[in-house]
Amino acid sequence: MRRPALLGLALALLCVLSVGQGSNPIGNPGFESVTDGAIQQWTLPSYWIGEIASVADPTQVHSGSRAALLEAAKSTDGKCWGRIHNIQVPASFGLRYRLSVWAKGTGSLRLGIINYRPEKPGLEPYTWAWQDEPLALSDDWQQASFEFTPVDVNVDRVTAAINVEGEGAQACLDDVSLEVTRRAEGEVRANPPYVMAQAGERIEIALRVTEGGKPFANGRLTAIVRDPDTPRTEEVALDPDGAATYSVQTDKTELRELAFVVADLGAMATVNVDVVGEETYRAFADAAAKTTLESTAHLLFLGDSLTDFHRGWNYVDQVGFWLRKARGEQVTVRNAGVGGDYITRVWQRLSGDKTAYRASMYDNLFEPKPSHVFIFLGHNDTKLTSGSGFTQAVVSPEEFESLFRQTIDKVRTDTGARITLLSSTSSVYEITKPNAEKLLQTRGSASLFGKPEVLEQYNAILERIAENTGCAYLDVYEPTRTHPDKPSLFMADGVHVNLEGNHLLALEVLKALQ
């Protein structure tokens, strides 16, 4: 049995989803999504032990058509265990969560959580928390559950882990769930959820708390300031309408996340304050002022992980903030990006395939009917597989072009929207190539992202499609390729853009709206 060929723990944990009221943010919770034998969104890193495989035997499945089989192995210290982890999801100190899984087998099973803090000097990046008592497995399905609270104020994300223990231990796993445990249905709203500001500017955040749709005036609202130097919590007084205003004094360029929590309701909201220099702020203000939109505009963004990642402060959030600042609250923005997407998956969802990967991301996609649709794909379509000697892309040029044309026809027929096709960004090939070669040596298989000539081939196809179909074409490849400090735009993997890279993308989109 082979382990998923992923880029190690650091890259596998990049995909981030939200913990919402009544939602389950676990990626692939029923282990139903499998590609080339690898269970998607679950990882067994090379420095852990054990084996993970997909099973489809109905006697080994709790619900649906598939489950996972996790087997223990003996480590160098003589202990026997196996462990997998899921994707990262946002979480907040002050709330209580429950992680659960259905399991059967031999040995014992223990649930754990990795608590993550922002990457800042002097701040330990992560801490483990484990279930005190393991569950003894048997031939019958049992639900193991673990209740926890993030370990400290600075924790902003968590990752679920499942451990099987004991010599010869193996566990069938299914239906993993992570939820906020709460006393009643409540909601915390913060406006704006993202704000760009200059150092020295005071920001006012409007807060409103409701319970069952009515003002929540008698409970406690706690503001959590995640700061490695002075992490703190502050109590915020609510007025009779359940409303309050929270002031933030910006003093240096940084991205600061604030969390507003009502523990009694199990409700929270986050606000990202992006403090930038005067030159960056002025560039955004000028670009936004020159945009031309209808009195009511609804913008829809489709894309892969470069659109899906860093929700709360990515380029879509930045565009939305500046358009509302320049044009008013009648402008709405929806981010329907899905990490790992190809044009094939986009077309599956648009054509109503309920078995498509993360099909629910396109629920009510055209409500309200968008006036502008941006499609930002190509990074996954162009990745090269080691099985082909790194010569063939996952999606062939012919299929890429055919499905893009079908997608454009579908969007245009259903919405009448103006459509903009974004090129792929350039990648840091000096990083992606050695990463792929290392994985090939250690895992036996790998994917190579960002080969320049392949990206350029597919971008040329996109530009031709745009010209033939009357779509706009937005080139973000050259601005990233020729940037004087290109690595400063990217995360450690050389593919995904960081805060500075998202600033660049947001500015290009705003300029395209002029």
CB 379 within 8 A of CB 449: yes
pLDDT of residue 182: 80
Domains and CATH numbers, the chain: 8-180 (2.60.120.260), 186-276 (2.60.40.10), 278-512 (3.40.50.1110)
- In whole angstroms, give the CA distance from residue 124 to residue 101: 29
- In whole angstroms, give the CA distance from residue 197 to residue 274: 6
CB 396 within 8 A of CB 448: no
Query: What is the amino acid identity at position 442?
Result: T
Task: For the chain of 514 residues, list the mean pLDDT of each consecutive stretch of 10.
Answer: 34 37 80 85 90 95 96 93 94 92 98 89 86 96 96 92 97 96 87 95 96 87 84 92 94 90 91 96 97 92 95 96 90 94 96 88 95 97 94 97 98 97 97 91 87 98 98 98 96 94 98 95
pLDDT of residue 183: 76
Distances from the Cα of 195 to the Cα of 81, 141, 248, angstroms: 46, 47, 11
pLDDT of residue 468: 98
Say what the alpha-carbon torsion angle 280, 282, 285, 288 is, to the nearest 10 degrees. -70
Q: Checking DSSP bridges between strand 331-335 and strand 297-303, what pairing results, if any? A: parallel
Helix ranges, 299-378 (H) = 305-308, 315-327, 343-350
- In whole angstroms, give the CA distance from residue 182 to residue 266: 4
List 135's β-bridge partners, or say none: 109
Close Cβ partners of 36 (under 8 Å, ≥ 6 residues apart): none
CB 306 within 8 A of CB 498: no
Rg (CA), the chain: 23
DSSP string, 81-96: EEEEEEEEEE--TT--
Close Cβ partners of 329 (under 8 Å, ≥ 6 residues apart): none
List 334's β-bridge partners, or say none: 300
CB 462 within 8 A of CB 272: no
pLDDT of residue 229: 76
CB 74 within 8 A of CB 61: no
Residues shown for the chain: 514
Give the residue from 100, 5, 25 showing the smallest Cα distance to 361: 25
- In whole angstroms, give the CA distance from residue 471 to residue 464: 10
- In whole angstroms, give the CA distance from residue 424 to residue 376: 7
A 10 A CB-CB count for 468 gives 11
Give the residue from 277, 276, 273 showing the smallest Cα distance to 258: 273
Query: What is the amino acid identity at position 122?
Result: G
- In whole angstroms, give the CA distance from residue 436 to residue 434: 5
Phi, psi dihedrals of residue 448, rounded to the nearest 5°: -110, 120
pLDDT of residue 338: 92
- In whole angstroms, give the CA distance from residue 281 to residue 511: 14
pLDDT of residue 121: 67
Q: Checking DSSP bridges between strand 214-215 and strand 202-211, what pairing results, if any? A: antiparallel
Q: In this structure, what DSSP letter does residue 339 have?
A: T
Q: Checking DSSP bridges between strand 472-474 and strand 142-148, what pairing results, if any? A: unpaired
CB 258 within 8 A of CB 194: no
3-state secondary structure of 209: strand
